[in-house]
Homo-oligomer: A and B are copies of this chain.
Amino acid sequence: MNEYHNIETDLILEVSEGLTKNGKTLEGVYFKEEKIENGRVHVTDVEIRTELGARQMGKPKGKYITLESGLLKENCGIDVCAETLSKYIKKLLPHKWNRILAVGLGNRELTVDSLGPKVIDNLFMTYQDMEEGLCGLAPGVMAQTGMETADIIKGVIDQTKPDAVIVIDALAARSIHRLGTTIQLTNTGITPGSGVGNHRNSLTESSLGIPVLAIGVPMIVRTSTIVYDTFSSIIEILQSKHTLRETGKRISEFTVQEKYELIQELLTPEVGNLCVTPKDIDELVFYIGKTVSRGINKAVYE
């Protein structure tokens, strides 16, 4: 049992942070890191190659590429980040394709969940005229449509026969440091219960019948995370203070189960419905939406 599974995260890096502390490695999970663009963009390649690795990580087998950059928050970073992003999108897309369907998940009307639709708004769609390139839509969430988003996408795939799907979604991170600094790409698609909106069935190659590239961007941290982090920090601080060391030590010796119960007591249902975002989330969605759509446009048309 992995204590980090208690706190939901959609980000592979946050899963692995918990598991590979102190130089520990995981069988069947491969990591590669590099800094590009003069060190301004940090890229981490994670590949889960075995079922054991998948079980340990709690994530499906496949490739996960994470871009991290402070530039993502800034207007002037759009070009650099889009360029980098397009390179890795190409890497995860199938080698040959004529048409790609882009799907922007999420609710256009709720700022924290609007990244997907915003990206679709800025894509350059050509399929119908040119017989190749991008087509796409923002299907809305179930509260808006009364339908499973997966059903809408399956119907559209049946009719338009694309060779691959790119799904774009806002994610929930564990760490507030992730907000506005991270983009995750994976060829494992999207699995139930993830995302800001928790709004869909599985969207994977096995459910849709064609390759699925998921592009996810953390936009919120669940309030429960702040509670958990505060708890952890208190222990660390207590241990670092001479006079309090005994107290801190005592709490730090709690079993995972004890810690979990303590945190559950702190988490009322009201806390659970809230989320932590930057006050300027509206701007963040605008900038990152531009970066992601530009990255997809470049990957597809250049």
Residues of A within 8 A of B (CB): 109-113, 120-121, 125-129, 133-140, 142-148, 151-152, 154-160, 176-177, 179, 196, 220-221, 223, 226-227, 230-231, 233-234, 237-238, 244, 247, 250-251, 262, 265-266, 270-271, 273-283
Cα(A121)–Cα(B144), bound, Å: 7
B276 touches A275 (CB 8 A): yes
Report Cα–Cα, A247/B233, bound state, in Å. 16
Contact of A220 among B113, B220, B279 (CB under 8 A): B279
Q: A145-B136, A274-B179 are in contact. Are A251 and B262 (CB under 8 A)?
A: no
Known A230-B230, A247-B250, A250-B244: A147·B143 in contact at CB below 8 Å: no
In order of increasing CB-CB distance, the 8 nearest A-B pairs are A155-B155, A125-B146, A135-B146, A127-B146, A155-B159, A230-B230, A151-B159, A155-B156
Evaluate contact between A262 and B234: CB separation under 8 angstroms: yes
- Do the beta carbons of B226 and A110 come within 8 Å of each other? no
Q: How far is B280's CA from A177's CA once the two chains are assembled, in angstroms?
A: 23
Smallest CB–CB gap between A236 and chain B, Å?
A: 9
Shortest A193–chain B CB gap in Å is 15
| A142–chain B nearest beta-carbon distance, Å | 6
Chain B residues within 8 Å of A230, by CB: 226-227, 230-231, 266
Query: B residues within 8 A CB of A227?
Result: 226, 230
* Given A146-B125, A262-B237, A160-B151 contact (CB < 8 Å): yes
The smallest C-beta distance from A73 to any residue of chain B, in angstroms, reads 11
The 8 Å CB contact of A177, one of B135, B247, B270, is B270
Question: B142, A128: Cβ atoms under 8 Å?
Answer: yes
Task: Return chain B residues, CB-CB under 8 Å to A138.
Answer: 140
Closest CB-CB distance, A53 to chain B, in whole Å? Answer: 32
- Decide: A147 and B176 in contact? CB cutoff 8 A: no
| Docked-complex contact B158 and A145, CB < 8 angstroms | no
User: Across the interface, do A140 and B137 meet the contact criterion of CB distance under 8 Å?
Assistant: yes
- Chain B hits for A270, CB < 8 A: 176-177
A147 to B130, CA, bound (A): 11
| Chain B residue contacts of A244, Cβ below 8 A | 250-251
Q: Are B139 and A137 in contact (CB under 8 A)?
A: yes
CA–CA, A143 to B200, complex, Å? Answer: 26
With A135-B146, A159-B155 as given contacts, are A276 and B279 in contact (CB-CB < 8 Å)? no
Assembly CA distance A279 to B72 (angstroms):
22
Whether B177 lies near A160 (C-beta < 8 A) is no
Q: Can you identify 18 A-B contacts, CB atoms within 8 angstroms?
A: A113-B279, A125-B142, A125-B143, A125-B147, A126-B146, A135-B145, A152-B156, A152-B159, A176-B270, A177-B270, A226-B276, A244-B250, A247-B250, A247-B251, A274-B276, A274-B277, A274-B279, A275-B276
